[in-house]
Structure 1
């Protein structure tokens, strides 16, 4: 098949790489220009460089325009394959190929449509994440599913661990979906809108710890935002502290959320959770923190038994 790829960062790079190594022909690679966004600079293997190294024409675009439409029309693809294309594709582009557009999304759709699905799934304590290949329609990440693979989430997993596992599933999942589409044996399964969830892009505010959350959820937020992602953070006496590692206490604590209490399990316990005054909640135990000067600290040594509050 003649294929046009739409992709960006490592996800788009792995997708293009998989098709280059297959029996199919990539006739055009569409990608975004380099970005200064911190999330978009982490996994930034270049689609453009890979395509040019294999003699594949490249079209750079921030969003669909007439020039992009002409480039796709001239490429005359049988199929478009998209992965981590960051803007909406209009119908006259995604329906242009005879087989339409296959989108690769790193969640188990219909859950976690939209942005940062691995981070949100980890925060929510999902037992598995995954990758889905679906046909694009007018709704974001909502078209019928061609193929899907699940990846288990372990109790100590960070988003970086889930990234490497899910990105490793792109090639086999994609090649399987391409075989189904080329042979005419694909049986796309409509997504159930009642099961769908949509999540927005993450911003700095989303990493600010709310000690009114249960300690278990905060601990997952910290793992979800572990390096190289922008860390979960709080403030102590006006200074921002990035939390690098934490755990959940076995002992139940009462009081006001955010109150620094006593040493526990080699760290410092902080009261957390709804109705904390009842004494029914586990505490969040901070182990390692990082100050804005980039220096890491032992949380117990840094905060001590100050009796202060984290906000």
Structure 2
């Protein structure tokens, strides 16, 4: 099919490289590398390697871009990790519409940070959904999906790697279905949810939470994402890895209790959390230093994390 590709970052580049040998890519639309401070030139680099024309846009709202798209007359727009809402008038230009590959099992986890939120919420499964694009973000009919299990200790970085391996196969399968005239299945209202973008303030540890909630936050915000954090002696401390102790450690939430279990135990939760109290910090880093073992970083106990 004759395609215009919208994408950004590693995810976008992965899909572009995967579909280019099988379809005629007329134009690659991407954001500038410095878009929103993300600094990801992956799509423009992939397009250069493939010898494909590139255009930059933040919002795809430029009238001359719309005119260019109409002149190109694509059969389909394919989107992966495009970071802004695509205008409705753009979605109507291609003969077969526009499709997007989203990193969740829609209708759940529409929006942003789906991998992170799924792990933070303790989900046991996530995946990818290729769907037709509608005016409302991530709500169009579903063409196909791929599923990935989430283990109890899996991190967001690990799940991202597994999803990356599925992006090209599931997108190519969806494009075959589109070419055959498949119009997708409407998303049911049951189980539908939308999540906002994750900022630094959304990853701060609340030591009043249960051990499971805190550990899910830490693994859900593992590298390469914004890490979970707390403050120690008034300075931000990133928590890179943590686990639960084999018995509850209660008391005042945030108190640094002792060195044990290969790390440093911090009290968390409240009486209502029962055995689900206490977190073992395994690896931390300051804002200016490299990751270090928690037992090497903390030299005194009885202080508090906030």
Q: TM-score range by the shorter chain?
A: over 0.9
Instruction: Give SS of 2:252's match.
Output: coil
Match of 2:52 among 38, 44, 56: 56
Aligned residue in 2 for 1:297: 292
Match of 1:134 among 131, 136, 144: 131
Aligned residue in 2 for 1:310: 305
Structure 1's unaligned 5+ residue stretches are none
Change (3 A) 1:173 1:277: closer
Aligned residue in 2 for 1:87: 84
Change (3 A) 1:309 1:28: same
Aligned residue in 1 for 2:29: 30
Query: Displacement, 1:86?
Result: 0.9
Deviation per CA, 1:106-149: give whole Å up to 9, x if none.
11111111111111111111111111100011111011100001
Aligned residue in 2 for 1:157: 154
Q: Give the number of aligned pairs.
A: 305
User: Does the 8 Å contact 1:77/1:97 carry over to 2?
Assistant: yes
Query: Displacement, 1:5?
Result: 0.7
In structure 2, C-alpha distance between the alignment counterparts of 1:302 and 1:56, rounded to whole Å: 49
Query: Displacement, 1:234?
Result: 0.7
Instruction: Give SS of 1:168's match.
Output: helix
Aligned residue in 1 for 2:278: 283
Alignment TM-score, normalising by the size of structure 1? 0.92
In structure 1, C-alpha distance between the alignment counterparts of 2:282 and 2:9, rounded to whole Å: 33
What is the aligned-residue RMSD (CA, Å)? 1.8
Alignment TM-score, normalising by the size of structure 2? 0.93
**Mean Cα displacement is larger for which, 256-265 or 233-242?**
256-265
Aligned residue in 2 for 1:5: 5
Change (3 A) 1:90 1:262: same
Aligned residue in 2 for 1:196: 192
Query: Displacement, 1:35?
Result: 1.5
Change (3 A) 1:104 1:231: same
Match of 1:148 among 139, 142, 145: 145
